[in-house]
A and B are shown apart, each in its own frame.
Chain A
């Protein structure tokens, strides 16, 4: 999963949001490190940067540990929506690095609640699917019936325990930005600890006092739809027009449970190289966390950059860039 972190003006790192569905960017993290090593080898020679290229191996180990009972040598595949998907490069990259088969929905069939892939040698059983297809599209029998990216009957095979899906279906509930507001309480309740990294101050717009305050000050807040990702469904108050604020006001009043608000944070800035000049741009940090039988994290992450000067939108699906990120020994 990819948990997004930002740095506040006082230097503290805080958690901006969680992404447990199909967070992308790992391949950018890995390839930008490769590029940096090739272009600036001297830098690496004299600086003790912790390596990250074991990520694919760590991911594979995690996936292997998730195999259903009794499947000793599990057949692990990466399910991709295909060549037209914006993250396709990452899918092929990871599949190749892990040495697993890259499949599309049409390569898989379900028979007697067991998942198989169509090979020239016949049907081969599949045990673990690292799936990069959204929940909605993954099984036309269970979810969107118009989806051609999924596998009919996959959900049944999953329920029967014959195949493991990573990330599991429904993990998106943890991405819900309203749920995010409760995370510190969840940590206290289940682990008996205080969070090491704090949340950003978040207002649930179902609360009438908070809702009124936010609606009166829309130009100072960032309003987010709870179920979206990729920077969509978002209003950035200080950068918005009166029409956009009015539109969001209507939406909030119509469905308050669907929105949260956070004070507009000045994401920290880092120097970036543009057209021969060094200029500041807003950034955030997304480390990649693997949860299998244990929790693993590679020492690094993706620093995402809002390429337009002054913009706070860092998401790659909206044209954000990225930087190699070093954790020193």
Chain B
């Protein structure tokens, strides 16, 4: 398929996933804030900013909560707008149902924002985002041909998910020591982490409600069956990249396969003790690998130079 179209499909999906994840994290934190001691508020919102990749210093006349609200909202609305804009450029490639849903989400978000729902009922606003995002993904999966284009959509979704979960885990494990006896406050935070990945109930089914940080790390990193684990995302990515390789038959595809395969292999074969012994490095490595996979995909399928293509 045309490189430009593949690129647009990848980004539509990636931006939508980003908006959904941000909305979920924000919702969870707003809820937690209600239960928690106001003194911990600043630290909480600095954590949120870090997990969303925001590194600028907080201005003198503001506070972490306000900056986090603004930044998160921007990331959500920008994400949805960019997702829609990318989809619009390749409208004939996606199903009309997918376009309609995405377009509806875009307009609804604008309407709700200007109607003041974000300010008055932020949790309701975020719920609309989450629900609509699921709807777009579901409609895409059931109405679009699972050909090369759909595979690029999958890659975009899961690469964003893997990187976001790894980053979230990184922030949490730096902040909260992984110890057995945690106080109720920390207990709530770990639940918060799981909820940020829609993982609380699934975790409990596997491990019971006994929350242990190591088990949480294991679940969100290595579980092969849960859709919001890094392992699951890596597997999906690899599967989709293989399908793209088949469809595109580019001579340079093996490069992408190797890099994606390495991520999956690391998650399948690294013993848990080793992971636990070096969590911070493990999380950082995953994020770096996602960056490398993204670069490889673009270099092989999308932005390759003419010389490279002619030689191949």
B4 at the interface (CB under 8 A from A): yes
A106 touches which of B4, B91, B92, B304 (Cβ 8 Å): B4
- Residue ID in chain A nearest B251 by CB atoms: A122
Cα-based distance from A95 to B5 in the complex (angstroms) = 15
- Residue ID in chain A nearest B148 by CB atoms: A120
How does the 8 Å CB contact mask read for A199-241 relative to B, with 1 for contact and 0 for none? Answer: 0000000000000000000000000000000000000000000
- Residue ID in chain B nearest A101 by CB atoms: B2
**CB distance A83 to B92 under 8 Å?**
no
**CB distance B3 to A120 under 8 Å?**
yes
A residues in contact with B309, CB < 8 Å? 122-123
A103 touches which of B2, B89, B301 (Cβ 8 Å): B2
**CB distance B301 to A120 under 8 Å?**
yes
B206 at the interface (CB under 8 A from A): no
Stretch at the interface among A4-12, A111-119, A257-265, A269-277: A111-119
Q: Assess A118 versus B310: contact at CB under 8 Å? Given A92-B92, A96-B92.
A: no
**CB distance A121 to B248 under 8 Å?**
yes
Contact count band on B? 20 to 34
Contact count band on A? 20 to 34
B residues in contact with A107, CB < 8 Å? 2-4
A residues in contact with B3, CB < 8 Å? 107, 118-120
**CB distance A122 to B312 under 8 Å?**
yes
A residues in contact with B250, CB < 8 Å? 120-122
**CB distance B310 to A119 under 8 Å?**
no
A102 at the interface (CB under 8 A from B): yes
Cα-based distance from A214 to B11 in the complex (angstroms) = 59
B34 at the interface (CB under 8 A from A): no
A residues in contact with B244, CB < 8 Å? 120
A18 at the interface (CB under 8 A from B): no
**CB distance A118 to B2 under 8 Å?**
yes
A104 at the interface (CB under 8 A from B): yes
Residues 231-284 of B contacting A (Cβ, < 8 Å): 244, 247-251
Q: Assess A121 versus B4: contact at CB under 8 Å? Given A92-B92, A102-B92, A109-B306.
A: no
**CB distance A119 to B248 under 8 Å?**
yes
**CB distance A119 to B251 under 8 Å?**
no
Residues 1-56 of B contacting A (Cβ, < 8 Å): 1-4, 6
B302 at the interface (CB under 8 A from A): yes
A residues in contact with B306, CB < 8 Å? 109, 111, 116, 123
How does the 8 Å CB contact mask read for B199-232 relative to A, with 1 for contact and 0 for none? Answer: 0000000000000000000000000000000000
A residues in contact with B294, CB < 8 Å? none
B residues in contact with A96, CB < 8 Å? 92
Shortest distance between the CB of B231 and any CB in chain A (Å): 26
Q: In the A-B complex, list the 6 residue pairs whose CB atoms are closest, starting with the nearest.
A: A120-B248, A121-B248, A120-B301, A118-B3, A123-B309, A92-B92
Residues in chain A within 8 A of chain B (CB atoms)? 82-83, 92, 95-96, 101-104, 106-107, 109, 111, 116-123
Residues in chain B within 8 A of chain A (CB atoms)? 1-4, 6, 88-89, 91-92, 148, 244, 247-251, 301-302, 304, 306, 309-310, 312
26 CB < 8 A contacts A-B:
A83-B89, A83-B91, A101-B2, A102-B92, A103-B2, A107-B3, A107-B4, A109-B306, A111-B306, A117-B2, A118-B304, A119-B2, A119-B3, A119-B248, A120-B1, A120-B2, A120-B148, A120-B244, A120-B248, A120-B301, A120-B302, A121-B247, A121-B249, A122-B248, A122-B250, A123-B309
11 extra interface residue pairs, beta carbon distance < 8 Å, beyond A120-B244, A120-B247: A95-B92, A103-B2, A107-B2, A107-B3, A118-B4, A118-B304, A119-B2, A120-B6, A120-B250, A120-B302, A122-B250
